[in-house]
């Protein structure tokens, strides 16, 4: 019987592992198919406190894992297949093997929705990105025309943020008005650096042969006309998909599939806590995920202490 199982080895899961390991709970930490989580897919992280010259995403996550293991965390390359939260102890099936635990921290993260057009995947990290806050300040985007795809609050926020660096930000949206909240839409459209392109979709990102983004092919959905728009970066903001499918009938989720918490990191099921991007559709940063991992660890520790009183 485990005292605590942590699902996920992103910033949230590994921070929870550091805290619960230091509390002598010997957490079992499961990496899933992406050890180190989403941050391992980026080269330089410039906004994680403590690294004034920036740090490689993979190295940061390796260090977090080492820190957790130093205090006794058991990190396993394994995936949770199913969960049963209907009775005590909590039961999990991990790569086909049953495991029981007194408490559970879910830190399964969220993936980005992709456009699914030619050139997108191959040019990821070479000009195609899913996070303006993370990548917008990179030298390759400075004083260049940039494209943001989407029409919701996130797309508007990304576009506004990018006006600090870009020469022009083209906001490509499939409809003829923004889905974003009114105040956000008004602010975005009032910004002289942002040029909306309505009723239009991106059908291709160019140029894989050059190994960098040089432009996008656009199609107007009303007229079916196509055009090439030169740009140095494509910021895709068409939504996220939280990795919460395992829990869809057992824990409360919001309309977009994110975990809903009751107090702190707690869920409606005693002993089950959530942390990081799977429970956060607003901030989605390494440091906020780490902070939520810390909260979940402290909440789990207190829950276990209460059981043993
Ligand atoms: C390209 C890119 C660049 C970024 N750059 C920055 C940046 O510069 N600064 C910044 O602050 N943020 C950045 N971010 C955002 C940051 O990566 C995320 O906010 C952070 O990784 C969220 O951490 P998390 O622990 O919540 O989830 P994740 O990092 O997504 O980790 C989720 C973990 O859960 C595991 N998992 C999922 N399902 C299962 C399962 N069934 N069983 C076992 N394990 C499972 C996964 O394998 C993974 O280990 C960037 C994101 C991307 C995509």
Q: CB under 8 Å, gap of 24 or more: what pairs does 305-309 form? A: 307/102
Q: What is the pLDDT of residue 153?
A: 84
Distance CA 8, CA 108 (A): 5
| Contact yes or no for 78/30 (Cβ under 8 A) | yes
Residue 308 above 90 pLDDT?
no
* Ligand 1 neighbours (beta carbon < 6 A): 7-13, 30-34, 37-39, 41-42, 45, 47, 79-80, 107-109, 130-131, 134, 243, 246, 276-277, 284-287, 289
| Ligand 1 center from residue 35 Cα (angstroms) | 9
| Rounded average pLDDT over 300-309 | 92
pLDDT band, very low/low/confident/very high, at 134 (cuts 50, 70, 90): confident
Q: Using a pLDDT cut of 90, give the percent of the chain over it.
A: 88
| Contact yes or no for 254/248 (Cβ under 8 A) | no
pTM: 0.81
What angle is formed at CA 163 by the lines to CA 157 and CA 165, rounded to 5 degrees?
120
Could you read off the pLDDT of 41-74 as tens digits, one per residue? 777 888 999 999 999 999 999 999 999 999 999 9
Chain-centre distance for alpha carbon 46:
16
DSSP state of 40: G
| Rounded average pLDDT over 189-204 | 97
| Ligand 1 center from residue 193 Cα (angstroms) | 31
Residue 63's contacts (CB-CB under 8 Å, 6 or more residues apart) are none
Could you read off the pLDDT of 137-157 as tens digits, one per residue? 999 999 999 999 999 988 998
| Contact yes or no for 13/275 (Cβ under 8 A) | yes
């Amino acid at each position: 019987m485990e005292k605590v199982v942590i699902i996920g080895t992103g910033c949230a899961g590994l921070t929870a592992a550091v805290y619960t390991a230091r509390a002598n709970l010997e957490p079992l930490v499961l990496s899933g198919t992406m050890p180190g989580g989403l941050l391992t897919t980026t080269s330089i992280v410039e906004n994680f406190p403590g690294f004034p010259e920036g740090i490689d995403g993979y190295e940061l996550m390796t260090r977090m894992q080492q820190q957790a293991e130093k205090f006794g965390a058991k990190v396993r390359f394994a995936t949770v297949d199913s969960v049963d939260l209907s009775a005590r102890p909590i039961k999990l099936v991990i790569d086909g093997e049953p495991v029981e635990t007194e408490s559970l921290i879910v830190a399964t993260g969220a993936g980005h929705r992709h456009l699914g057009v030619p050139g997108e995947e191959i040019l990821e990290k070479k000009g195609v990105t899913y996070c303006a806050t993370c990548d917008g300040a990179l030298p390759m985007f400075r004083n260049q025309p940039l494209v943001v795809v989407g029409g919701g609050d996130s797309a508007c926020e990304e576009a506004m943020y990018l006006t600090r660096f870009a020469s022009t930000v083209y906001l490509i949206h499939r409809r003829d008005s923004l889905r974003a909240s009114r105040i956000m839409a008004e602010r975005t459209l009032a910004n002289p650096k942002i040029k909306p392109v309505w009723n239009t979709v991106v059908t291709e990102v160019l140029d894989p042969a050059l190994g960098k983004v040089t432009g996008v092919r656009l199609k107007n959905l009303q007229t079916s006309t196509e055009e090439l728009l030169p740009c140095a970066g494509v910021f895709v903001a068409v939504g996220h998909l939280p990795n919460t499918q395992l829990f869809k009938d057992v824990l409360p989720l919001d309309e977009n599939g994110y975990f809903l918490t009751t107090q702190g990191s707690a869920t409606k099921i005693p002993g089950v806590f959530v942390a990081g991007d799977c429970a956060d559709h607003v901030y989605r940063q390494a440091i906020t995920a780490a902070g939520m991992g810390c909260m979940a660890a402290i909440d789990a520790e207190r829950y276990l202490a209460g059981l043993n009183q």
